[in-house]
Chains A and B, each alone.
Chain A
Amino acid sequence: MSSAEIASLPESEGFRIRWADMAPFIALALIVLLGALINSNFMAANNLMNVITRSAFIAIIGVGATFVIATGGLDLSIGSMMAFVVGIMIMAMNSLAPQIGVWAIPVGALVALVVGSLCGLMNGLIITVGRIEPFIVTLGTMGIFRAFITYMTDGGSLSIDRSLRSAYRPLYFGDFLGVPYPVIITVVVALIGAFVLYRTKYGRRVTAVGSNSDVARFSGVHVGRVRTMAFVIQGFCVAVAAICYVPRLGAATPTTGQLWELQVITAVVIGGTLLRGGKAHIWGTVAGALILEVIANVMVLSDMVSEYLVAAVQGAIIIIAMLAHRFTSAR
């Protein structure tokens, strides 16, 4: 895992790339400014904290999706997978709680991480060994995971044991020195993701496979292994998000995580990662997740738009952000 190759990048080019990569942060700043002008409550510490904490899920899953998309893949199953992992985790914790009490929480979290990684591994292997388009495979597993969670909940809801609730709640609602835990976890996940992507041999292979898999293969990169690993990372990130999610409402339902795949993919793409692969931007993804959540928040806080048109305005802002991004990075 040498960092020598990174350091040898030409300085001038590095600077130019960094300037274009600022686009998502500039967009975020503009939307925040807009929010502050529309409603004075927007800048209230409480509101900002809620919004940042809420965006943690999309940001954490987005870090994994950045890897998958950077290799030129796509994972449509993440929302359903998230619900499935949440369901398995709750069932594991509930069955363990009578014997080991509060220890059921860390054990349940471990179960979630293993199950999430295995789900990712399954997606990855079917895609690489079975040689099927990621779009189709994950469309299939999206249905499978969604059906499983519906079956596990009997179409109703699956809630965590009451005895665990108070011990587990702080993971979403608590904070360390004023910073909510989900935010800390997001930062840690993004730091690790950025390290792996920018500072390791694996990370360079991810973008190499994404920009041209044939060239990567001829240069001795095991393309299948790199792509499969990206899906495992995705599954692991989904599990981390699930661990933060369970204490929020304490239940899994058939609608848990519905359509999150679209939000995650949007966040990744707004963040500057190319949908066709080859270029990845972890912190851009985090900014993208914040942009989505802030837009939604500003829409509720403003009284200017009819409730029927809120989604249209959100969609328009996302498209404008993408266009702005395209024009700044095309130079």
Chain B
Amino acid sequence: MKTSNKGTTFLSAAVIAGGLVATTAHAQDTEFTIAVSIPAATHGWTGGVVYHAQEAERQIEEAYPNIDVIVSTASSATAQVSSLEDLSATNELDALVILPFTSEELTGPVEQVASNGTFITVVDRGLADPSIQDLYVAGDNIAVGANTAEWLVDKLGGEGEIVVLRGIPTVIDDERIQGFTEVIDKSDIKILDIQYANWNQDEAFTLMQDYLGKYPNIDAVWANDDDMLLGVLEAVDMAGRDDVKYALGGNGMKQVIEMVMAGDERTPISTPYAPSMIASAMFMTAAQFAGQAPMRGSFKLDAPLITPENADQFYFPDSPF
């Protein structure tokens, strides 16, 4: 596809470079502690984040014996603030990798940690004050929506009727919808309806049933998330509606990547908003300490279309997500 892989390629290059430097020059015995604070596994995507964080912890500690990684999960913004306090009270933190629950609430506490000279890496949702962070790693939600929309406009020949399912009212959801609708609005495709299903499989099933009852013709569905996509597919199958030519999700769920790999007619592509971004951020942070690879700046991971040709790069069979 047209979208470039620059972001990811650069990242892997940086990680490999960091790794090489470390293995050749790990003579010094300096100990570094990197704390990783992430949301607990409460749904598919965060389940993936926890999995990738733990895998990265194992790999980093194996590759760099002088780096100690502590992964800590929290079930709410308040719990995350408490766990930050606990982490910084009981350890000398050289770095903190944090995927904040909410931007506003975590800004103060992270600033507190940063004031001790800790290197701060922020992942996914940004803090309210970006000057606190040394490194920022995130996916591109606007591209998730826009790239899917471009593909759809192309496949439908610029016209048709589609329905959209929204997640939970958040910045992430707003950005995806914005990216999607901006592209669709330039074509003759009509968005028949757009409602919340809260990133929940059940609610997506119910909402899709209602959409199917309401509209006699639907050319395509954009579920904006793979959890919801599975509910949508079930509803479409049950109704036996073959007017629905495409049903697309996003996020890189294992089952959906498998469908892409198998060349599914209705779901031939997906878009990543990969939970593995936490691993990318951890490796980049490790490189800061393991070798001569100063890591500063903002890294936006691309959201290239996942197609049968590249699906294996986004497929992690052991991940729960």
The reply to whether B210 and A251 contact each other, CB–CB distance below 8 Å, is: no
The reply to whether A157 and B210 contact each other, CB–CB distance below 8 Å, is: no
Which of B201, B210, B230 is within 8 Å of A255, CB to CB?
B201
Binds B, one of A44-52, A189-197, A226-234, A322-330: A44-52
**Given the contacts A254-B47, A258-B200, A300-B214, A155 and B41 also touching, CB distance less than 8 Å:** yes
Q: CB-nearest residue of chain B relative to A150?
A: B41
B216 to chain A, nearest CB (A): 8
The reply to whether A39 and B234 contact each other, CB–CB distance below 8 Å, is: no
The reply to whether B209 and A155 contact each other, CB–CB distance below 8 Å, is: no
Other than the given A41-B213, A254-B44, A301-B214, 16 more pairs (CB < 8 A) read A44-B213, A46-B239, A50-B209, A54-B206, A150-B47, A157-B44, A157-B320, A248-B234, A249-B202, A249-B230, A253-B201, A255-B201, A255-B202, A297-B210, A300-B193, A301-B210
Chain A residues lying within 8 Å of B193, measured Cβ to Cβ, are: 300
Chain A residues lying within 8 Å of B41, measured Cβ to Cβ, are: 150, 154-156, 254
The reply to whether A41 and B47 contact each other, CB–CB distance below 8 Å, is: no
**Given the contacts A251-B201, A297-B210, A308 and B231 also touching, CB distance less than 8 Å:** no
Asked if B283 is at the interface of the complex by the 8 Å CB criterion, the answer is no
Q: For the side of the interface on B, what is the size category?
A: 35 or more
List 5 interface pairs A-B (beta carbons < 8 Å), by A numbering.
A154-B41, A155-B44, A254-B41, A255-B227, A300-B193
Q: CB-nearest residue of chain A relative to B46?
A: A155
The reply to whether B42 and A150 contact each other, CB–CB distance below 8 Å, is: yes
Chain A, residues 290-301, CB within 8 Å of chain B (1/0): the string is 000000110011
Complex formed: what's the CA distance from A307 to B230 in Å?
Answer: 22
A residues contacting B by CB (< 8 A) are 39, 41-42, 44, 46-47, 50, 54, 150, 153-157, 159, 173, 248-251, 253-256, 258, 296-297, 300-301, 307-308, 310
Which of A41, A155, A248 is within 8 Å of B205, CB to CB?
A248
Chain B residues lying within 8 Å of A254, measured Cβ to Cβ, are: 41-44, 47
Complex formed: what's the CA distance from A256 to B231 in Å?
Answer: 12
Complex formed: what's the CA distance from A50 to B239 in Å?
Answer: 10
Chain B, residues 181-199, CB within 8 Å of chain A (1/0): the string is 0000000000001111001
Which of B169, B195, B205 is within 8 Å of A300, CB to CB?
B195
The reply to whether A154 and B320 contact each other, CB–CB distance below 8 Å, is: yes
Chain B residues lying within 8 Å of A248, measured Cβ to Cβ, are: 205, 234
Asked if B166 is at the interface of the complex by the 8 Å CB criterion, the answer is yes
Asked if B50 is at the interface of the complex by the 8 Å CB criterion, the answer is yes
Chain A residues lying within 8 Å of B50, measured Cβ to Cβ, are: 155
Q: CB-nearest residue of chain B relative to A159?
A: B255
Chain B positions 36-81 with a Cβ under 8 Å from a chain A Cβ: 40-44, 46-48, 50-51
Asked if B321 is at the interface of the complex by the 8 Å CB criterion, the answer is yes
Complex formed: what's the CA distance from A159 to B201 in Å?
Answer: 13
Complex formed: what's the CA distance from A13 to B46 in Å?
Answer: 57
Complex formed: what's the CA distance from A249 to B208 in Å?
Answer: 13
Complex formed: what's the CA distance from A155 to B201 in Å?
Answer: 14
Chain B residues lying within 8 Å of A307, measured Cβ to Cβ, are: 166, 194-196
Chain A residues lying within 8 Å of B254, measured Cβ to Cβ, are: 156
Chain B residues lying within 8 Å of A173, measured Cβ to Cβ, are: 238
**Given the contacts A54-B209, A248-B234, A253 and B227 also touching, CB distance less than 8 Å:** yes
Chain B positions 143-201 with a Cβ under 8 Å from a chain A Cβ: 166, 169, 193-196, 199-201
Complex formed: what's the CA distance from A8 to B32 in Å?
Answer: 82
